[in-house]
Amino acid sequence: MSILVGKSTRLLVQGITGKEGSYHAQRSAEYGANLVAGVTPGKGGQNFNATVPVYNTVQQAVGETSANASLIFVPPAFAADAIVESIDAGIKVIACITEGIPVQDTIKVVRYLKDKEVTLIGPNCPGIISPGENFKMGIMPGHIHLPGRTGVVSRSGTLTYEAVGQLTQLGIGQSTCVGIGGDPVSGVTFVDILEKFENDPDTDNVVMIGEIGGTKEQEAAEYIKSEFNKPIAALIVGQSAPQGKRMGHAGAIITGSAGKAEEKQNALSAAGVSIIPGPGSIGDILKELIS
């Protein structure tokens, strides 16, 4: 079993005729995703890789292929509209890879999502993968993943890959891996994904990777303390970052004491989370936790 996506997921890719969209659509299909459609305005009537139809609108694609998940590779200026288009067409799971979307645009999208049964992963994220289901919708390297029972949720794309690489080398497989994105405003949060892992009978334990900036980790700590019952280990990166300096991600900006790595670690530790001291120890700490 997996969370959010699986063998029944029918994937479409918005921006499938672009360089990034076409490359990762092909990689996702090769990994096992059921790629049923692509969408690029003005390119309707074409085929991707000879067999996947391309449509002008998401509504057309959903109507003809029953697609229920969308992977978005659309330039920043148009990405918010692309997300809304998928929502309006009835798509249930959306992963927006696009980086650099204006925060005000994302705020409007998140408000539009309220009270709708839609899961938005990202923006500025690597996407989602469930190795046991042979399903990938995102930009992560599929070959490093191993089917198993450890859930992974992270704000950082590259550290998601690092965590998975270490787990796989130790023979610890993954149920589902989700990159929630590094922007200050995003669709799903740590709490959203942790709730799904808590309710997934095929996820036994979790690795969580946070970073400086914002309060998403503290919110996760509150949820873990009161409602999460599975072993969980967490890494907070950016421990040596100077205050007020942006460190790569738009969300990785220390604004007040709550955004500091130490505050996040303290909150998680108080909730019973095993703290991972550095990126090189992710696999070892989890192995100790579950052994």
Distance of alpha carbon 218 from alpha carbon 206, whole angstroms? 17
What tokens were used for 92? 């249930």
Can 145 be counted among the known catalytic residues?
Answer: no
- With contact defined as beta carbons under 8 Å apart, do 161 and 174 qualify? no
Closest CA to 16 of 6, 1, 51: 51
- Rounded CA separation 218/271 (Å): 10
Angle between helix 157-169 and 282-290 (nearest 10):
50
Q: Which of 24, 143, 145, 249 is catalytic?
A: 249
With 0-12 / 13-18 / 19 or more C-beta atoms within 10 angstroms meaning exposed / middle / buried, residue 58 is buried
Which strands sit side by side in the sheet containing 93-96, from one edge to the other? Answer: 47-48, 52-55, 34-39, 10-14, 69-72, 93-96, 119-121
Q: Identify residue 154 by its one-letter amino acid code.
A: S
Question: Rounded to whole angstroms, what are the CA distances from 99 to 27, 73, 93, 248?
Answer: 20, 9, 18, 12
Separation of alpha carbons 145 and 134, rounded Å:
10
Which residues have a catalytic role annotated? 249
